[in-house]
């Protein structure tokens, strides 16, 4: 094996001094597809140099699970990059924070707050349904014109996380709301996409248009977070916990009352702001992206849409709206959501992991500090695990009778796994189910005449987003009364 650098290191791409393997990485394809292609030449697991960092790329589920689950604690680190440091004030959030007591603590608080919401008085189901209803009303108002649903989907999803984080919601015309949509897209477009600045931190010394845009967007976001924080501090009470920010404030007060230095436990104002910022950003961008992918695939596969609607008509009908408790009754919709998360994973390379100590993956040794990238795209498109992986087929997630969902392969990890597993999985699944069932119960989504089909390739970045496209949302009921007087 000519590629081995020493006996027990993974095969490595040819490396050049200083530039590392960057030159051989110049490729037409986005990184997740390029890394999948390199499998043929270097095998399922190989390494390369990005700047001065050694990076191991993993392309199969066996090694992925070894890293995430079996050796989860060893590989729970995160790298620091110029862009994520800018976004998170040097890793004072959850997603981009290195493994530490502070990270563990913040994860626990957020997890607790998210769980509470499931049972709380204003349950998350009510909030999602309120937004779904409003969105459907807006869609009904633009009958028979081709529209880009993305802004409306983003508004609905944003209001759900707004309720969760800040116990508030926005009206459609609110300029703050529109500003938020803008800065968030700016951040998604520029953060952590392994642009040069992250490989060569010294490049940030030079004028860089992307970095300038990122700084500008982050500063707008920070002002907004600061404002919410001040408002909450002003009318905080120990007796009620309205939202995630209250939960974080309470933890901070508790520490202060017990004379614990908030600096030691990482409960500084910066930490609180960055943690809320994380949940807010993750809450908006991920769910919206999946909704956009789902609709793009339904436009490409009208027979799938029809089947979901048949299921909705027979199990729910038109006299009431879908509820969370209907999830078990709608296996075809559930299977469709799973298939969308397989074929276009939100986060095709997860977030990079870092080895916290010397260890091994499979038969290979790994040194402390090595970055590990799990190529989820390879796992979800592995021909040994999935028949025709590029084919969109919700049926693969249905059991033989078609009455329930199943897991046809172990090579499926849309939310990651282990210590760093997604914190919002349950929330995201509730939202996807409710928003899609509400929309499809009332509307048929169609290709406007003369418009091209949505592009299914995706723009790679911190999330894999579809290109913009327009659809017609045609009301399925002739009587407008009937569609909106569904019982609640
Ligand atoms: C992390 C997927 C929605 C919050 C992640 C990771 C993935 C993921 C793959 C990285 C795991 C790793 O690096 O090993 C998804 C998908 C979603 C979704 C597919 C939607 C369908 C959400 C939502 C929230 C959220 C709605 C917020 C409420 C987070 C956080 C992390 C994370 C905070 C970082 C965890 C850590 O590093 O400790 N998610 N996510 N996600 N997700 Fe999600
Ligand atoms: C999205 C843009 C926001 O303005 C900031 C933000 C915070 C958390 C990030 C999120 C962005 C993108 C999706 C991420 C999330 C943390 C976990 C999630 C990376 C950059 C995923 C899918 O891993």
Q: Using alpha carbons, select from 286, 287, 284 the residue that is nearest to residue 276.
A: 284
Residues 6+ apart with CB under 8 A from 18: none
Average pLDDT over residues 63-68: 98
Residues 6+ apart with CB under 8 A from 393: 339
User: Residue 56: how many CB atoms within 10 A of its CB?
Assistant: 23
Write down the pLDDT at residue 1. 46
The pLDDT assigned to 197 comes to 65
- Residue from 185, 282, 414 whose mutation best tests the ligand 2 pocket (most atoms within 8 A of CB): 282
CB 278 less than 6 A from any atom of ligand 2 = yes
Q: Whose CA is nearest to atom 20 of ligand 2?
A: 188
The mean-pLDDT minimum among 321-335, 447-461, 473-487 falls in: 473-487
Average pLDDT on 345-354 reads: 95
SS (H, E, C) 46-113: EEEEECCEEEEEECCHHHHHHHHHHCCCCCCECCCCHHHHHHHCCCCCCCCCCCCHHHHHHHHHHHHH
Ligand nearest to the CA of 158: 1
Ligand (nearest to CA of 419): 1
Across the range 432-436, mean pLDDT stands at 98
Least distant ligand from the CA of 279: 1
Cβ–ligand 1 contact at 99 (below 6 Å): no
Ligand with smallest separation from the Cα of 221: 2
Cβ of 93 less than 6 Å from ligand 2:
no
Specify the ligand 1 atom closest to the Cα of 374: 14
For all residues of the chain together, what is the average pLDDT?
A: 91
Tell me how far CA of residue 413 lies from CA of 60, 346, 379, 438, 450, in angstroms: 11, 11, 8, 27, 38
ipTM: 0.99
Asked whether 351 lines ligand 1 (CB < 6 A), one says yes
Tell me the mean pLDDT in the region 151-179: 92
Q: What is the dihedral of CA 372, 217, 296, 163, to 10 degrees?
A: 100
Q: Give the residue-averaged pLDDT of 276-285.
A: 96
- 354-384 pLDDT per residue, tens: 999 999 999 999 999 999 999 999 999 999 9
Instruction: Please check the confidence at residue 387 and state whether its pLDDT lies above 60.
Output: yes
Q: Quick check: 485 pLDDT over 50?
A: no
Both tokens of 351, joined, read 């977030």
Answer for the pair 368, 99: CB distance below 8 angstroms, yes or no: no
164 by Cβ neighbours in 10 Å (0-12 / 13-18 / 19+) ranks as buried
Residue 86: is it exposed, middle or buried by C-beta count within 10 angstroms (0-12/13-18/19+)?
Answer: buried
Ligand 1 atom at minimum distance from 419 CA = 38
Nearest residue CA, atom 18 of ligand 2? 282
What is the percent of the chain where pLDDT is above 70?
A: 92
pLDDT at residue number 207: 72
412 lines ligand 1 (CB under 6 A): no
CA distance 444 to 439: 8
User: For ligand 1, is residue 419 a contact (CB within 6 Å)?
Assistant: no
The pLDDT, as a whole number, for residue 210 is 85
What confidence tens digit (pLDDT) does each residue in 420-431 have? 999 999 999 999
Which pLDDT belongs to residue 7?
62
Give per-residue pLDDT as tens, 225-260.
999 999 999 999 988 888 999 999 999 998 888 888
Q: Is residue 91 within 6 Å of ligand 1 at its C-beta?
A: no
Q: Which numbered atom of ligand 1 lies nearest the CA of 429?
A: 21
For residue 391, which phi and psi values (nearest 5 degrees)? -85, 130
Which residue matches tokens 């276009």? 344
Q: What's the mean pLDDT in 36-43?
A: 94
CA torsion 73→75→77→82, rounded to 10°? -170
């Amino acid at each position: 094996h000519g590629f081995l650098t020493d006996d027990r290191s993974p095969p490595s791409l040819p490396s050049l001094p200083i530039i590392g393997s960057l030159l051989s990485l110049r490729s037409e394809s986005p990184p997740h597809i390029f890394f999948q292609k390199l499998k043929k030449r270097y095998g399922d697991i190989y390494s390369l140099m990005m700047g001065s960092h050694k990076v191991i790329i993993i392309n199969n589920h066996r090694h992925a699970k070894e890293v995430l689950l079996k050796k989860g604690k060893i590989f729970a680190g995160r790298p620091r990059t110029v862009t994520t440091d800018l976004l998170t004030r040097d890793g004072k959030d959850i997603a981009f924070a290195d493994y530490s007591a502070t990270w563990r603590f913040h994860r626990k608080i957020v997890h607790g707050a998210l769980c509470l919401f499931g049972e709380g008085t204003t349950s998350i189901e009510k909030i999602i349904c309120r937004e779904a209803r409003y969105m459907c009303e807006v869609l009904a108002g633009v009958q028979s014109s081709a529209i880009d649903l993305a802004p409306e989907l983003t508004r609905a999803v944003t209001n759900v996380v707004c309720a969760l984080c800040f116990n508030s919601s926005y009206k459609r015309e609110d300029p703050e709301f529109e500003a938020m949509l803008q800065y968030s897209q700016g951040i998604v477009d520029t953060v952590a996409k392994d642009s040069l600045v992250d490989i060569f931190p010294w490049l940030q010394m030079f004028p860089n248009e992307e970095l300038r845009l990122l700084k500008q967007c982050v500063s707008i976001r920070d002002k907004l977070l600061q404002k919410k924080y001040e408002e909450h501090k002003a009318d905080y009470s120990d007796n009620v916990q309205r939202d995630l920010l209250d939960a974080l404030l309470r933890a901070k007060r508790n520490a202060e009352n017990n004379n614990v230095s908030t600096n030691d436990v990482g409960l500084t104002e910066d930490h609180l702001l960055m943690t809320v910022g994380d949940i807010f950003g993750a809450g908006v961008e991920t769910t919206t992206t999946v909704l956009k992918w789902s609709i793009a695939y339904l436009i490409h596969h009208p027979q799938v849409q029809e089947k979901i609607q048949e299921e909705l008509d027979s199990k729910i009908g038109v006299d009431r709206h879908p509820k969370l408790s209907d999830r078990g009754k709608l296996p075809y919709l559930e299977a469709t959501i799973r298939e969308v998360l397989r074929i276009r994973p939100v986060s095709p390379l997860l977030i990079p992991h870092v080895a916290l100590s010397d260890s091994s993956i499979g038969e290979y040794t790994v040194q402390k500090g090595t970055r590990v990238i799990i190529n989820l795209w390879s796992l979800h498109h592995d021909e040994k695990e999935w028949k025709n992986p590029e084919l969109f087929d919700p049926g693969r997630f249905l059991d033989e009778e078609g009455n329930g969902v199943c897991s046809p392969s172990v090579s499926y990890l849309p939310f990651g796994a282990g210590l760093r597993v997604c914190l919002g999985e349950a929330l995201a699944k509730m939202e996807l189910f409710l928003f899609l069932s509400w929309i499809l119960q009332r509307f048929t989504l169609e290709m406007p005449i003369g418009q091209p089909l949505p592009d299914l390739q995706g723009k790679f970045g911190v999330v894999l987003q579809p290109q913009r496209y327009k659809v017609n949302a045609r009301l399925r009921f002739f009587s407008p009364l009937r569609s909106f007087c569904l019982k609640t």
